[in-house]
Amino acid sequence: MNLAARQQDNADNSFADADREAVYRAIFTRRDVRSQFRDGEIGDAVLARLLAAAHHAPSVGFMQPWNFIVIRDMARRRAVRDLFLAARQQELPHMAEDRQALYRQLKLEGICESALNLCITCDRRRSADSPLGRWHNPQMDLYSTVCAVQNFWLAARAEGIGVGWVSILDAEALKRLLEIPDPVAPVAYLCVGHVSEFARRPDLEQARWRGRLPLGDLIMSETYGGEGEETLKAAAAGNQVP
Amino acid sequence: MNLAARQQDNADNSFADADREAVYRAIFTRRDVRSQFRDGEIGDAVLARLLAAAHHAPSVGFMQPWNFIVIRDMARRRAVRDLFLAARQQELPHMAEDRQALYRQLKLEGICESALNLCITCDRRRSADSPLGRWHNPQMDLYSTVCAVQNFWLAARAEGIGVGWVSILDAEALKRLLEIPDPVAPVAYLCVGHVSEFARRPDLEQARWRGRLPLGDLIMSETYGGEGEETLKAAAAGNQVP
């Protein structure tokens, strides 16, 4: 029996403690990897599992708007890296002046060091004849595609594979390079590969770009800014990494 | 030791087979729940764990743009449900004519039957002074927030809790109802509660609104529409639910 079908047989069952912990572990130890890629191919069986995970994301109206472009060619990857380098130069002056030196030092991509790159796209025409759930919120197809990205990322963590999302790119230039037609949006450009380790904390936290916000401060009751939920906030504070 | 800190201690370790399977099981058996909510409160400890999972999503520039509005008041929920009912009426004529009868029959929300509602928002002003990764792609803060939604959803599945995303809503009307200020976007309106079961297949697949696309058809090589990756496609076909 294949992977997804076998899992469906368990659809009605609850998770044992150890299984629930494993899901949290993937969530809490997932990292946006830029610096720790090491050599080694990713086998087709593993990559197919990751893509199956992405493909089982929720999608508005079950439209499944995604495609997966696997990029291995090093010349093409170097061209994407050139786009990144140009975009980083363009982005730099928009950082606060006292943070520009730190910004320059940050390692923000692993395009050429990773085993492969993956562009996850959203075909905005798909099921356009019956756009269930998209009439009021047409961006829902993009959001569905992001859910696929996050599924891929978490499955990769469970496989010991690192993923980094490169967002410092000019989308139009990327579309030309990957021959992506107009009604299709490149939602995520991912670097995917084996890693030497998963960092204990996010790189940007470690580099003191920003600290993690206290979860309790982000919880509101009934309305935006609404006070209350005190016991929930206290419980949330207990789950915070110190 | 608290949950997230304990998990971080495992950051460098690989996943045992059973743990990896548990992550896939959460991914493959997660459902967009509308019909199977049953009575029962959700304890603050559980809800805090789900919110911690959401809070550990990736975010561009580590900006953590999200807030979590917990909505329990039944009068407010009925008002949201009225927004849904109006929006569904507005959306109906945009469906293909031969699908409107089916659209009318679909159960598309569990706003009042679930234990609570949760609106996950994106504060677009947060870290606006140094928008790392957002100069070229300003929507990245919204995408980060969607990653938080998907983390919440998968953690909920592992806890045996159902989540349904209601996107058939007028966002401006929802903002007024929840007093959400202008620079903040309501990204997801979720129904959250205990369930009688997790359906074996997505509701919209079961109702024959759409079928699942063959994963192999969604894989491309090097460029959009690029042919190749035949062994990967064959491996992907093996993971497909029949």
pLDDT in tens, B137-185: 999 999 999 999 999 999 999 999 999 999 999 999 999 999 999 999 9
Q: Are residues B118 and B163 in the same domain?
A: yes
> Would you call A167 and B137 a contact, using CB atoms and an 8 Å cutoff?
yes
The C-alpha of B129 sits at a distance from chain A's nearest C-alpha, in angstroms, of 6
Residues 6+ apart with CB under 8 A from A88: A108, A168
Q: Are residues A203 and A183 in the same domain?
A: yes
> Would you call A132 and B181 a contact, using CB atoms and an 8 Å cutoff?
no
Q: Are residues A114 and A164 in the same domain?
A: yes
A182 touches chain B (CB under 8 A): no
The C-alpha of B39 sits at a distance from chain A's nearest C-alpha, in angstroms, of 17
B153 touches chain A (CB under 8 A): yes
B41 touches chain A (CB under 8 A): no
- With CA atoms as reference, the chain B residue closest to A137 would be B167
Q: Are residues A161 and A100 in the same domain?
A: yes
In a domain, A230, yes or no: yes
The b-or-e profile of B19-57 (16+ CB within 10 A means b, else e) is bbbbbbbbbbbbbbbbbbbeeeebebebbbbbbbbbbbb
The residue among B149, B140, B129 whose CA lies nearest residue B57 is B149
> Would you call B146 and A147 a contact, using CB atoms and an 8 Å cutoff?
yes
Can you give the residue range of the structural domain that contains A216? 212-242
A39 touches chain B (CB under 8 A): no
Q: Are residues B76 and B145 in the same domain?
A: yes
- With CA atoms as reference, the chain A residue closest to B118 would be A222
- With CA atoms as reference, the chain A residue closest to B67 would be A218
The C-alpha of A191 sits at a distance from chain B's nearest C-alpha, in angstroms, of 14
Q: Are residues A184 and A96 in the same domain?
A: yes
In order along its 242 residues, chain A shows pLDDT tens digits of 466 666 655 555 799 999 999 999 999 999 999 999 999 999 999 999 999 999 999 999 999 999 999 999 999 999 999 999 999 999 999 999 999 999 999 999 999 999 999 999 999 999 888 999 999 999 999 999 999 999 999 999 999 999 999 999 999 999 999 999 999 999 999 999 999 999 999 999 999 999 999 999 999 999 999 999 999 999 999 876 54
> For chain A, what is the domain count?
2
Which of B8, B179, B232 is nearest residue A48 as measured by Cβ atoms? B232
Using CA atoms, how far apart are residues B212 and A57, in angstroms rounded to an integer? Answer: 11
In a domain, A218, yes or no: yes
In a domain, B86, yes or no: yes
pLDDT at res. A238: 84
For residues B209 and A132, is the Cβ–Cβ distance under 8 A?
yes
B130 touches chain A (CB under 8 A): yes
Q: State yes or no: ipTM above 0.90.
A: yes
The residue type of A65 is P
Which of B27, B171, B232 is nearest residue A137 as measured by Cβ atoms? B171
In a domain, B128, yes or no: yes
Q: Chain A to chain B, count of Cβ pairs less than 8 Å apart?
A: 422
* pLDDT tens digits along B106-136: 999 999 999 999 999 999 999 888 999 999 9
A74 touches chain B (CB under 8 A): no
A97 touches chain B (CB under 8 A): no
In a domain, A12, yes or no: no
A184 touches chain B (CB under 8 A): yes
Q: Are residues B172 and B237 in the same domain?
A: no
> Would you call A27 and B154 a contact, using CB atoms and an 8 Å cutoff?
yes
pLDDT at res. A1: 45
Which residues on neighbouring strands pair with residue B184, listed in sequence order? B123
For residues A215 and A58, is the Cβ–Cβ distance under 8 A?
no
- With CA atoms as reference, the chain A residue closest to B169 would be A136
- With CA atoms as reference, the chain B residue closest to A236 would be B48
pLDDT at res. B8: 59
The C-alpha of B107 sits at a distance from chain A's nearest C-alpha, in angstroms, of 12
In a domain, B1, yes or no: no
A99 touches chain B (CB under 8 A): yes
| B45, HSE (Cβ side, Cα atoms, 13 Å) | 2
CATH of the domain at A190: 3.40.109.10
Q: Are residues B162 and B61 in the same domain?
A: yes
Tokens of B224: 């959009």
| Residues of chain A contacting residue B63, judged by C-beta atoms under 8 Å apart | 210
Q: Are residues B186 and B71 in the same domain?
A: yes
Residues 6+ apart with CB under 8 A from B44: A231, A232, A234, A235
Q: Edge-to-edge strand order for the sheet containing B184-194?
A: A219-221, B66-71, B116-123, B184-194, B161-165
Q: Are residues B189 and B81 in the same domain?
A: yes
In a domain, B40, yes or no: yes
Q: Are residues B92 and B180 in the same domain?
A: yes
Which residues on neighbouring strands pair with residue B191, listed in sequence order? B117, B164
- With CA atoms as reference, the chain A residue closest to B161 would be A14
A202 touches chain B (CB under 8 A): yes
> Would you call B219 and A67 a contact, using CB atoms and an 8 Å cutoff?
yes
For residues A186 and A174, is the Cβ–Cβ distance under 8 A?
yes
B79 touches chain A (CB under 8 A): no
Tokens of A24: 């949290």
Q: Are residues A169 and A233 in the same domain?
A: no
* pLDDT tens digits along B15-73: 999 999 999 999 999 999 999 999 999 999 999 999 999 999 999 999 999 999 999 99
> Would you call B241 and A96 a contact, using CB atoms and an 8 Å cutoff?
no
Task: Look at residue B11 and tell me whether its pLDDT is greater than 80.
Answer: no
In a domain, B19, yes or no: no
